[in-house]
Structure 1
Amino acid sequence: MQARDLCFKQALTAALALAFVLMPAGKALAQTPDDFYRAEVVIVERLVDPSALEEQMAGMPVEPPLSGIRSLWVEDANGNRASDVRLAARNELYLNQAAARLENSGNYRVLATAGWYQTFPPNYNGRPMRVAVGKWLGGAGERAVEGHIEIDRQRYLHVKVHLNHWQEGERPEPVMVVPEAEAQADEAGSNEYSAGDQVAELATRPVAAEPAPLKLITWIRETRRMRSEEIHFIDSPTVGVLVFFRKIEG
């Protein structure tokens, strides 16, 4: 009986070994792609009064936002986030501790913590990914920090950061809208209403509301070469970007 069981086990082991050999390599063992990385980006805002900055950005030419690009981290007016990248949870990120330290310092506000897995082969030309975070500027209908981030790889990984930091400017004085027909009547000397009636009518008449203009506080325009397993900090006087890459092996 024992001899028969032993023969059966030996035959089963041999069959399993043969099946493993004949199985395609991709099914036998999940292989990690070459040049597979976890990319991490943390965007922070420095808590500083913009009026105290020495940098004067008024009149600087700003290119319009890129359209038709993927979203990395885009928040709408209600704070809902949209992303075309499958983002990892914040507690999985190596930069989570660095972000927490910046928050705890009381000098920075963390606006976004994005981490994802991607293959970056040599000669990889990345596509820009849209960013829109920070305070909602209702008059302009957009977030205070907007722009895009792009990752390329030639011999080394390179990160291109293109971010603008805006605030609402002063609203212009309200402009009274006078219908053309009424204006022509006034020019002709028509005065059908008393002065009191005219004042009451003007007080209730809709006023044309001009949108609040945007004022550029600072920006980031930088391309930085990255080293894997090192934290890189790209910053302006009010906005900073932490970047970290870790190659996934095995």
Structure 2
Amino acid sequence: MRTLFQKHLRALPLFAAALAVAPAAQASYTYRAELVLVERLVDPESVVEQMAGRLTEPGEAAPKALWVEDANGQRLSDLRLVGENQITLARSAQRLENSGRFRILAKAAWYQSFPPNYRSEPMQVAIGDWLPGAGHREVEGTITIERQRYLHVEVALNHWQPTAAGEQTAIELKNQTAVAEPGAPESAADSSDASADPATDSQTPLAPMAREPQAELLTWIRETRRMRSEEIHFLDSPTIGVLVLFRRIGS
């Protein structure tokens, strides 16, 4: 009986060591991921790539939001983003902005475990100026992270610019926000029988109106890059770019 007890006693240090290894192994998969999205301040007319004719639709909503700004500028993210004071890339972003050649669109950082064979769902990005005529942001698309032997980041972002029709629509939408003074007398046209107008007659079929495009593609990023921990990577197009940094937490 004493021999059996001693055998179990000798096994305790090995069991404790195994318990200690498990958290350490998990910690080795944990990283702080950092992204900075920037826009190059260039004249669109100077961009050599002519992509306006490409039939690329604005991206659909992805399963998860990385950084999405709505029409009112409210930010949505499904990630637990850390404060800007914890973002290592903030200094690099500041240098780019101080150069006068870049505008910072977003700075995001979060902690996450990336075990082997991990692949995230596409994470939605929608940033930059709001294009009223088109109804979406200037830069939109998805970013996906996966890990095989190395971490890989897949960036698929579109950079849009308003067309002449889109700019006209934006002006019209702005003018529509002017509300008539309460109690103003109705005009003769307003007080007339609406049924006399064929456009308001429910029995009158309306011909579909051809609508000009409200936004056209300026450039895009379609790139997958292998990441090395502690190294800053820059994925870019002539007008937009993404700084990426992964820092492993623990050994």
**Runs ≥4 residues deviating over 2 A:** 30-34, 179-182, 208-212
- Aligned-partner residue type, residue 67 of structure 1: A
TM-score relative to the length of structure 1: 0.72
Give the Cα–Cα distance (whole angstroms) in 2 for the partners of residues 181 and 165 of structure 1: 38
Gaps of 5+ in 1: 1-21, 183-207
- Residue 119 of structure 2: SS of its match in structure 1? coil
1:148 aligns with 2:113: no
Determine the C-alpha separation between the residues in 1 that align with 2:126 and 2:236. Answer: 17
Superposed displacement of residue 68, structure 1: 4.7
Pick one of 112, 127, 132 that aligns with 2:126. 132
Q: Is residue 37–residue 107 contact of structure 2 (8 Å, CA) maintained in 1?
A: yes
SS in 2 for 1:51: helix
Q: Which residue of structure 2 lines up, in the alignment, with residue 116 of structure 1? A: 110
Q: Does 1:82 align with 2:76?
A: yes
In structure 2, the partner of 1:5 is none
- After TM superposition, give the deviation of residue 64 of structure 1 in Å: 4.7
What is the aligned partner in structure 1 of residue 226 from structure 2? Answer: 225
Name the SS for the 1:33 alignment partner.
helix
What RMSD over aligned residues (CA atoms) do the two structures have, in Å? Answer: 2.9
Partners of 2:124 and 2:142 within 8 A in 1: yes
What's 1:36 paired with?
30
Which amino acid in 2 is paired with 1:154?
Q
% same residue: 57
Q: State the distance in 2 between where 1:144 and 1:233 align.
A: 20
Q: Deviations over 1:113-172 (max 9, x none)?
A: 010000001111111100000011111111100001000000110000000000110118
What SS is found at the alignment partner of 2:238? coil
Q: 2:87 aligns with which of 93, 101, 125?
A: 93
Change in Cα spacing, 1:157 to 1:73, as seen in structure 2 (3 Å) is same
- Per the normalisation by structure 2, the TM-score is 0.72
TM-superposed CA distance for 1:33, in Å, is 2.7
The answer (yes or no) to whether the contact 2:62–2:122 under 8 Å persists in 1 is no
CA contact (8 A) 2:58 2:140 kept: no
Q: Which amino acid in the other structure matches residue 70 of structure 1?
A: K
Distance in 2, matches of 1:242 and 1:112, equals 10
Relative to structure 1, the CA distance from residue 97 to residue 235 in structure 2 (aligned partners, 3 Å threshold; closer, same or farther) is: same
Could you tell which deviates more after superposition, 146-155 or 32-41?
32-41
- Among 32, 39, 57, the alignment partner of 1:45 is 39
What SS does the corresponding residue of 2:85 show, helix, strand or coil? helix
Are 1:58 and 2:52 counterparts?
yes
1:240 maps to 2:234: no
Q: Could you give the per-residue CA deviations for residues 157-214 of structure 1, whole angstroms, max 9, x where no partner exists?
A: 000000000011011899xxxx5489xxxxxxxxxxxxxxxxxxxxxxxxx9967611
Change (3 A) 1:217 1:66: same
Contact 1:140 1:211 in 2 (8 A): no
**Paired residue for 1:199?**
none
Q: Which ranges of structure 2 fall in alignment gaps of 5 or more residues?
A: 1-15, 170-196, 201-208
- Structure-2 separation of matches of 1:181 and 1:164: 38
Instruction: Decide which moves more: 82-91 or 67-76.
Output: 67-76
